[in-house]
Structure 1
Amino acid sequence: MLPEVRQVQPGDTVHLCVCGRSPQAPDCPDTCPQGTSLTIVREQRLLLCRCGRSRDLPYCDGSHNPPAPGWRGKWQRFWLGH
């Protein structure tokens, strides 16, 4: 499962899951006390975790991918998407 790429604008507010259990991941219901609200200060793209395995929730850290075996595997994953 790939991360969600979300384009946000200054002034936008997003409520994001940090526990990894939201059924609407990466969004979090407003009633959840563990969610985090972010108010965006500059235009940017957020890479948001949808699998719940990231150690940096709500952001994707690539934990959904198994480690690449060696330098060649990392190179192929980066350039070829394997």
Structure 2
Amino acid sequence: MPESQPSPILPEVRLVRPGEHLLLCGCGRCPQRPEAAPDCPNLKRLDIRREQRLLLCRCGRSADLPHCDGSHAPPAPGWRAKWRRFWKDG
């Protein structure tokens, strides 16, 4: 029986609306990422001004925390390879 690979930690897509206030992890080590722990050393406060979808990091590897920059996925040479990462047999 083949050894199973751990599932990747994918980003969270969150719909936010005007007037919402978010406290998000900017250090990459908070246990409930993307939510910030009370003692997060790099807490990011977002005051939402328009309805939008945010792509939030849950793996903690992004260089642009709390936003996802794709660091959870291995590098891919070209757009076709990047799209293939979204399918199991890719």
Normalised by the shorter chain, which TM-score bucket?
A: 0.7 to 0.9
Q: Distance in 2 between matches of 1:76 and 1:26?
A: 27
Normalised by the size of structure 2, how large is the TM-score? 0.78
Aligned-residue CA RMSD in angstroms? Answer: 1.7
Normalised by the size of structure 1, how large is the TM-score? 0.85
Structure (1 or 2) with the larger CA radius of gyration = 2
2:58 to 47, 50, 56: 50
Ranked by relative contact order (alpha carbons within 8 Å, sequence separation 6 or more), the top structure is 1
Q: Distance in 2 between matches of 1:62 and 1:75?
A: 15
> Which residues of structure 1 form unaligned runs of 5+?
none
| Alignment-derived partner of residue 72 in structure 2 | 64
Query: 1:38-61 deviations in whole A, cap 9, x for unaligned?
Result: 110000000000000000000000
Q: Do residues 13 (structure 1) and 21 (structure 2) align?
A: yes
> Which residues of structure 2 form unaligned runs of 5+?
1-8
Higher helix share: 1
Identity across the alignment (%): 56
The structure 1 segments of at least 4 consecutive aligned residues displaced by more than 4 Å after TM superposition are none
